[in-house]
Amino acid sequence: MVEEVLVVPAELVGRHLGGEGLLPVDRATLRLLMQGSHFTPRHSAEGNPLYRQLIPYVVVLNKGGEVFAVTRLKAQSEERLHHKLSIGMGGHINPNDGALGLELLWAAAWRELGEEVDIVDAGPLGELEFCGLINDLSTPVSRDHLGCLFLLRTSGAVLVREGGKMQGGFMPWEELKRRSEELESWSSQVLPCLTRLTSKWR
């Protein structure tokens, strides 16, 4: 079966996003990008400069301010991310995530999070907070994709579901900063911004 993924024309992204890195984006701009989006076979999108694949990227923090981080092992499908340290979890958006629209981003983010981790003994989970788009043109992986950054704060334990593909646990910010050279590119973009993004939680 051919996997279909959600893409946005690269020209549309260039028209509405200025610069690179983690960019603040309002709902109106996000809605414009979604209006131009469509599903296409994944093999047609990979390495295609005409498209950017939209990827929910969820960063989970605990009440102590630690960040959940994973190391992607060789069994994980994306070879270009093997042994990289990541503070975000996510993946491609598929047609079964729902109809085109803003709600599709949130639905896909929750699905991807649930596929990668279990959050246990947490009580009711909070809301996924959209914090901007990650526009990174520095690597072949990031040039194919456009990240939709979400934050989730939890009091529960977070367990990796597929231990053969990833290893993970909460890490203090100081340790992540010390290991900055191991971070994959999107995590490198997001980590310096977390203090600002979470300041209202303190």
DSSP state of 176: H
State residue 49 phi and psi, 5-degree precision: -70, -10
**Most confident of the following: 55-64, 81-90, 123-132:** 55-64
The closest alpha carbon to 72, from 58, 61, 60, 88, belongs to 88
pTM of the model: 0.90
Q: With 70 as the cut, is the pLDDT of residue 77 above it? A: no
| pLDDT the model gives residue 201 | 60
Point out the least confidently predicted range of 3-12, 41-50, 67-76, 178-187.
67-76
pLDDT greater at residue 197 or residue 144: 144
Domain range summary for the chain, segments of one domain joined by +: 4-197
Q: What is the mean pLDDT of residues 156-185?
A: 88
- Tokens in use for 53? 């694949």
Tell me the residue length of the chain.
202
Measured in whole angstroms, the distance separating CA 156 from the mean position of its chain's CA atoms is 20
> For the purposes of burial, counting CB atoms within 10 Å of the CB of 191, is it exposed (0-12), middle (13-18) or buried (19 or more)?
buried
- Measured CA to CA, the distance from residue 69 to residue 89 in angstroms comes to 9
- Measured CA to CA, the distance from residue 173 to residue 201 in angstroms comes to 16
Quick: pLDDT tens for 38-58: 999 999 999 999 999 999 999
* Choices 2.40.50.100, 3.90.79.10, 3.30.750.24, 3.10.20.880: CATH for 4-197: 3.90.79.10
Q: With 80 as the cut, is the pLDDT of residue 76 above it? A: no
